[in-house]
Amino acid sequence: MDKLLRRAIVSLVLVLIVAAVIYLFPDWLFCLVIALFVVLGQFEFFRMVKNRGIFVYKYFGAVIGGLIPVVIFMGNSLPALKNLEPLLIVAASLLAFTLQFLRRDNARDHLLSVALTLFSLFYIGWFFSFFVKLKLLANGANLVAFVILVTKSADIGAYLIGRGFGKSELIPRISPKKTKEGTVGGMLTGLVIALALGRFLTGFSLPHLFALGIILATLGQAGDLAESLIKRDCKVKDSGTCLAGIGGVLDLIDSLLFTVPVFYFYVKAFL
């Protein structure tokens, strides 16, 4: 089966699952789904890092990463626990160093091990957990749907236009298949989707939707490039193989890791 067809089928199934999770699942179950994605993404990240020969405590990182969306949800539900999120991050930082103290080998990668463990907690665990913060806002389900639709439509637009018309390489040392034409096409696709569906889903004014379309489409492609940089450095093609035609969980969510936090802060600051 052609890779594009496999990708389309898997994407359609994912769209149906995501729609059910957003609109049918209660908030606590939505939170657990986000936690599951974080844990799987963390494992894929640590698997890539292993290719570089760097030791990391993958189970520690995955568990702490999965706890971040849970404590965010708990802090919102129980005011007494509202400071649990920063406390978890501080505790994780201390534990990351403590685990290095307990190592018995004469490794020289302590700094890299701690840095990559903490980086993964922020890059995957904390950034993706902004979905929980977003979902708990007024009209949260539609806001979650909006940011996903704009970000992923920009992904699709960049992929299709780049594949059909791309000639000028964007940053070949990071991702040789990405083109300038695809990047522009992705930005235009994201902008069109933001303007077409934004009023219905969010009620935001056209100037805000125009700004969000540009911002989210740009950041989504930056997120995709960021993961490409990591994969290139770790010498892997995909972060995983669990999603036919797409790759791994991290390949699926990479573009959302930058857009969700920025969208959340935009909504809180201006809307």
Per-residue pLDDT, 176: 78
Q: What's the distance, Cα to Cα, between the start and end of the chain in Å?
A: 45
Distance, CA of 152 to CA of 146 (rounded, Å)? 10
The rounded mean pLDDT for the chain is: 89
| Overall number of domains in the chain | 1
Q: Which amino acid is at 22?
A: I
Per-residue pLDDT, 108: 74
Name the 3-class secondary structure at 33: helix
Q: Over 60: is that where the pLDDT of 1 sits? A: no
CA distances to 71, 74, 76, 229, 256 from 80, rounded to whole Å, are 12, 9, 9, 40, 30
Range of the domain at 108: 3-270
235-257 pLDDT, tens digit each? 888 787 777 667 789 989 999 99
Confidence of residue 89 (pLDDT cuts 50, 70, 90): confident
**Within 10 Å of residue 205's Cβ, how many Cβ atoms?**
12
